[in-house]
């Protein structure tokens, strides 16, 4: 801990920092052109078991809870809302596929921000922030990966 703050100051700073990090990443990445997000690239590749979606459905019961997660991209005027499927054209599905990778990248980058919290938090509070980061981002990553597998299967069938 490099900066000493009273407990209330730490709490307020943590909340503000997470809001800035999460919203800042989401806003920044929505500004990048969609072509920069290759959902079939090496980093976006899904594991063999993920492609079918059965793992997510059977072991994580993803269909029961995925609709409860917020869609941060829709909070920005020109973000790509992923809450529903507006069209079924290959072009739209391809756009949706790219947006699942963009959303996943946002959440992975947010997880990478955890060490910043060591600047003003004692070790136990860094752990609390790490748990928050996992709870807030891992479910979103799982949903993006699940949806990407579904869209890849649909597009490959066409």
Q: What is the pLDDT of residues 132-141, one digit of tens each?
A: 999 999 999 9
Domain range holding 17?
7-157
* Residue 1 belongs to some domain of the structure: no
Burial class (CB in 10 A: 0-12, 13-18, 19+), 17: middle
* Residue 124 belongs to some domain of the structure: yes
Please state the pTM of the whole predicted model.
0.90
* Residue 34 belongs to some domain of the structure: yes
In terms of DSSP H, where are the helices of the chain? Answer: 7-31, 48-52, 54-60, 62-65, 90-112, 123-157
* Residue 78 belongs to some domain of the structure: yes
Q: What is the pLDDT of residues 24-58, one digit of tens each?
A: 999 999 889 999 999 999 999 998 878 889 899 99
Q: Considering its fold, how many domains does the chain have in total?
A: 1
């Amino acid at each position: 801990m490099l900066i000493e703050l009273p407990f209330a100051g730490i709490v307020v700073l943590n909340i503000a920092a997470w809001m800035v990090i999460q919203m800042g990443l989401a806003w920044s990445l929505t500004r990048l052109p969609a072509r920069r997000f290759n959902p079939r690239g090496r980093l976006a590749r899904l594991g063999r078991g993920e492609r079918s979606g059965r793992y997510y459905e059977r072991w994580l019961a993803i269909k029961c809870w995925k609709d409860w997660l917020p869609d941060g991209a829709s909070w920005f005027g020109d973000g790509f809302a992923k809450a529903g499927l507006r069209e079924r054209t290959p072009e739209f599905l391809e756009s949706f596929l790219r947006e699942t990778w963009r959303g996943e990248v946002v959440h992975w980058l947010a997880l990478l921000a955890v060490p910043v919290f060591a600047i003003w938090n004692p070790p136990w509070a860094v752990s609390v922030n790490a748990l928050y980061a996992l709870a807030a981002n891992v479910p979103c990553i799982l949903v993006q990966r699940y949806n990407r597998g579904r869209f890849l299967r649909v597009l490959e069938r066409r």
